Amino acid sequence: MRSKLSVVLVLIFVLALAAISPAQQPPPTFHFDGNSWWSHVKVLADDSLEGRDTGSEGLRKAQAYAVEQLQKAGLEPAGANGFYQVIRFNQYEVDESKSSLALVTNGQARPLSFADDAFISSRATRKSANISAPLVFIGYGLRIPEKNLDELAGLDLKGKIVVYIAGSPADIPTALASHYQTVAERWKSLSAAGVIGAITILNPASMDIPWSRISVNRNHPSMDLADAEFNDAPGQRLGVVCNPASAEQLFAGSGHTFAEIAALGKDRKPLPHFALAVSLNADAVIHTKTLESSNIVAKLAGSDPALKNEFVVLSAHIDHVGIGAPIGGDRIYNGAMDDGSGSALVLDIAASLKAHPERLQRSILFLLVTAEEKGLLGSKYFAAHPTVAPKSIVADVNVDMFLPIVPLKILKVEGIEESDLGARAAAIAESMGIKPIPDPEPLRNAFIRSDQYNFIKKGVPAVKCDVGFELGAPDQKIFKDWLTHRYHAPSDDVSQPVDLQSAATYEEFTRRLLLDTANTPARPRWKPDSFFRRYAAD
Ligand SMILES: [Zn+2]
């Protein structure tokens, strides 16, 4: 009796130990010091790689380096061609010398300056076009049935060019607003209404980059996946991007001003919708060519007989924007943080798992995608044509420009409320003494602006986490300044200050999130009330 009781007590003690959550266990030693990460960043962002543009020699060099590192870490190739998955692209370039835009009032045409007023977007103008069409202002241009929002209702849009301001009303949840602002979703409703083209006015309240810097690189060629299955905006004939500082002339004679619209848009208030008094003449000459670029895919196999056939994806984009207009005498857009930082993390985590192996039940897929800067194209291709069974991907942890420029005290978790992967990321952050928060700046649309979004659309729970700040805290200005001066600029290079301890802590967080997801028997699931759960149907 007695001895039996002691056995039971010991058992209870053992079970209690096993049930202690990670938060209560003594923290395992850190696996990172920031230095190995930084050494990878230095290679990837070196001037000799010329900013790693999709299709360029510089990107191929970066990829060769990555493959060498992944091999060194003992990973298996998991692409279609060894570590590589080759993808075909079309490239589009506006020939401004043969193109023009003009606003027409009472038969009088007034030309717009490409540099200062508005330019033709080759991303949204795939073929040469000569168009004259009336303009209609459609607010944010959103149709969101879930929230009974239909900004196109009651407007005659057939054969028209619509004008909208980037953004969304405040009562629309971030993820939902982001989703409906994607090219594909937006075009579905515009196209159904008979629209032939669109002018996007950038929202001064959410511009990461000042107009001068956007404009100076406006003629950088755009790309799309060559296969027709990937055309997100069939039938769109023209896309124009408008400088908010020049937008007032679109509203002349309409009874409204852009100042009024911008003020409402800043506070995410509902916007009016009305026909404009001016129409647009557009002559767009587009040159096209084809090229190839690859994703890199590597695998660290799990050991569980069944679960090893399931994959947790760690993704980052290895491409950047290449060589562009000189700023301060520098033409190389090195992309040290965007996303040399994430690519370096992928290589560093692979190395850490070789140096300090962990028992893995599921397998981990290390994915370095191409053409993120061209519109998330490499990940779009991979999500549509994965090199492992599509249903075997259980989660995507995407790392893009996590910005270790301040100590990691706050972690912004994109997708925190959408799935239990988000909840797990939050719990792991908390266990490390880091405060997890949802996106404090929903207007920036970050949820759809990196590669995780292509996994989400295939039903795969995903998160993207970044070193963050709380609104109003002094750190906010550091991030704002970084975006204004370094984001997509030549100064995103290795001469900028970074916090190596912050990077190391972020890597440790990511490693724990991967291992925890690989070793938790249940797959991550969408929250029952998540909008994105619909993609996981069946
Ligand atoms: Zn970027």
Judged against a pLDDT cut of 80, whether residue 369 lies above it is answered with yes
Give dist(CA 31, CA 319) in Å, integer: 27
Separation of CA 372 and ligand 1 centre (Å): 7
Residue 28 has pLDDT above 80, yes or no: no
| Chain centroid to CA 397 | 12
DSSP 228: G
**Whether residue 26 has pLDDT greater than 50:** no
State in Å: Cα 212 to ligand 1 middle.
17
The whole-number pLDDT of residue 532 equals: 85
**How would residue 445 be classed by pLDDT, with cut points 50, 70 and 90?**
confident
Question: Which residues 6+ apart lie within 8 Å of 508 measured at CB?
Answer: 30, 31, 32, 432
> Ligand 1 centroid to 534 CA: how many Å?
28
Lowest mean pLDDT: which of 65-69, 212-216, 334-338, 385-389? 212-216
How confident is the model at residue 375, as a pLDDT?
Answer: 92
pLDDT at 1 over 50: no
CA of 305 relative to ligand 1 center, distance in Å: 39
**Rounded to the nearest 5 degrees, what angle is found at the Cα of 97, between the Cα atoms of 95 and 102?**
95
Question: In angstroms, how far is the first alpha carbon of the chain from the final one?
Answer: 53
Q: How confident is the model at residue 207 (pLDDT cuts 50, 70, 90)?
A: confident
Question: Ligand 1 centroid vs 233 CA: distance in angstroms?
Answer: 22
The pLDDT value recorded for residue 531 is 81
Query: Stretch 337-366: mean pLDDT, rounded?
Result: 96
466 neighbors 338 (Cβ within 8 angstroms): no
Q: Over the stretch 91-149, which tens digit does the pLDDT of each residue have? A: 999 999 999 999 999 999 999 999 999 999 999 999 999 999 999 999 999 999 999 99
Characterize the bridge pairing of strands 238-242 and 118-120: antiparallel
For ligand 1, the distance from its centroid to the CA atom of residue 341, given in whole angstroms, is 11
What residues form DSSP beta bridges with 109?
Answer: 104
Average pLDDT over residues 420-445: 92
Q: How far is the CA of 368 from the centre of ligand 1 (A)?
A: 14
Q: Is the pLDDT of residue 3 over 60?
A: no
Q: Cα angle at 102 between 101 and 106, to 5 degrees?
A: 155
C-alpha 373 to ligand 1 mean position (Å): 5
- Mean pLDDT across 18-27: 46
CA of 14 from ligand 1 middle (Å) equals 49
Q: Which of 218, 221, 490, 485 is nearest to 331 (CA)?
A: 490
Q: Band of the pLDDT at 10, cuts 50, 70, 90?
A: very low
Query: What per-residue confidence (pLDDT) applies to 2?
Result: 39
Checking if the pLDDT of 22 tops 80, the result is no
Percent of the chain past pLDDT 90, that is, above it, reads 86
The arithmetic mean of pLDDT across residues 205-217, rounded, is 90
Least confident range of 53-57, 73-77, 213-217: 213-217
> What DSSP string describes 145-207?
GGGTEETTTT---TTPEEEEES---TTS-HHHHHHHTSHHHHHHHHHHTT--EEEEEP-GGG-
User: For the segment 172-200, what is each residue's pLDDT rounded down to a tens digit?
Assistant: 987 788 889 989 999 999 999 999 999 99
Model pLDDT for residues 282-307, shown as the tens digit of each residue? 999 999 999 999 999 999 999 999 99
Quick: pLDDT tens for 473-489: 999 999 999 999 999 99
Please tell me the distance between residue 153's alpha carbon and the centre of ligand 1 in angstroms. 35
Residues 377-403: what's their mean pLDDT?
97
Q: What is the pLDDT of residues 150-172, one digit of tens each?
A: 999 999 999 999 999 999 999 99
CA of 343 to the centre of ligand 1 (A): 13
Query: What is the Cα gyration radius of the chain?
Result: 24
Q: What average pLDDT does the structure give for the chain?
A: 93
| pLDDT band at residue 51 using 50, 70 and 90 as cut-offs | very high
Mean of pLDDT values over 349-370: 96
d(CA 411, CA 136): 41
How many residues are there in the chain? Answer: 538
Quote the ligand 1 centre to 439 CA distance (angstroms).
18
pLDDT, position 141: 97
Q: Which of 175-179, 246-250, 402-406 has the least mean pLDDT?
A: 175-179
pLDDT at residue 428, rounded to an integer: 98
Determine the distance separating the centroid of ligand 1 and the alpha carbon of 18, expressed in angstroms.
43
Task: Kindly give the distance from the C-alpha atom of residue 339 to the centroid of ligand 1, in angstroms, as a whole number.
Answer: 7
